[in-house]
Amino acid sequence: MKFFLDTANVDEIKRINELGLVDGVTTNPTIISKEGRDFEEVIKEICSIVDGPVSAEVISLEAEGMVKEARVLAKWASNVVVKVPMTEEGLKAVNILSKEGIKTNVTLIFTVAQGLMAAKAGATFVSPFLGRLEDIGTDSLALIKKLRKVLDFYGYKSEIIAASVRGLKHVEDVAEVGAHITTIPGSLFPKLWSHPLTNSGIEQFLSDWESFKNK
């Protein structure tokens, strides 16, 4: 399974990248705004740290504007993926961009139909949102499971990025139901390798070792 980092914080990215766990990065305008840095500067820096795909989102709502922005974003680095919202105009833009060889990540997907449309339009990645669906009481795991089944059934190459991930259970669950990728907030990532019993076990081993040495 591939892990993306859902952050634009370069310190978080560097720390986790050193563990060999980062296959890519996703950002959105909210994530970028939290860093208070220039969009182009931060995306270029992330692209220089991480080898894999780095999603940078367009702001335009019309296909023409999205395509124009996308062509600029795609020139910032070879691993930039253009994030496009799941709308009619977004699909139109994805169709044009895929023919130009520009990689896209269709975001804000909440149904299997939306995921299927994005894949058919030529999206490289499709991003169903788990947490936001659960906020309105909808089963998000079923969405990932069904979408994976449908994409595989028809042989679409688009990869599913499980997004809007809020906890460790989400990561374990989407791995089980076949998301190709999960994008994980920087603050959540350390919880994937930590457990209180691991920590107390280390403490006990070391204290037993000290007692034994000092006998």
Which CB atom, from 28 or from 124, has the smaller least distance to ligand E4P?
28
Determine the interface stretch with ligand E4P among 60-68, 128-136, 140-148, 190-198 (rule: CB under 6 A). 128-136
Determine the interface stretch with ligand E4P among 62-70, 109-117, 125-133, 169-177 (rule: CB under 6 A). 125-133
Using the rule CB under 6 A, is 107 a contact of ligand E4P?
yes
Q: Which residues contact 182 (CB under 8 A, 6 or more apart)?
A: 1, 2, 3, 4, 161, 162, 165, 170, 171, 174, 175
Determine the interface stretch with ligand E4P among 16-24, 36-44, 91-99, 129-137 (rule: CB under 6 A). 129-137
By C-alpha distance, which of 138, 119, 130, 135 is closest to 177?
130
Reduce the secondary structure of 129-168 to three states and give it as a string.
EHHHHHHCCCCHHHHHHHHHHHHHHHCCCCEEEEECCCCH
Q: Which of 9, 26, 124, 140 binds ligand E4P (CB under 6 A)?
A: 26
The torsion angles phi and psi of 80, rounded to 5 degrees, stand at -75, 135
Say which of 34, 44, 68, 83 is annotated catalytic. Answer: 83
By C-alpha distance, which of 82, 48, 40, 44 is closest to 65?
82
Using the rule CB under 6 A, is 158 a contact of ligand E4P?
no
Using the rule CB under 6 A, is 164 a contact of ligand E4P?
yes
**Contacts to ligand E4P by CB under 6 A:** 6, 26, 28, 107, 127, 129, 131-132, 163-164, 183
- Residues with catalytic roles: 83
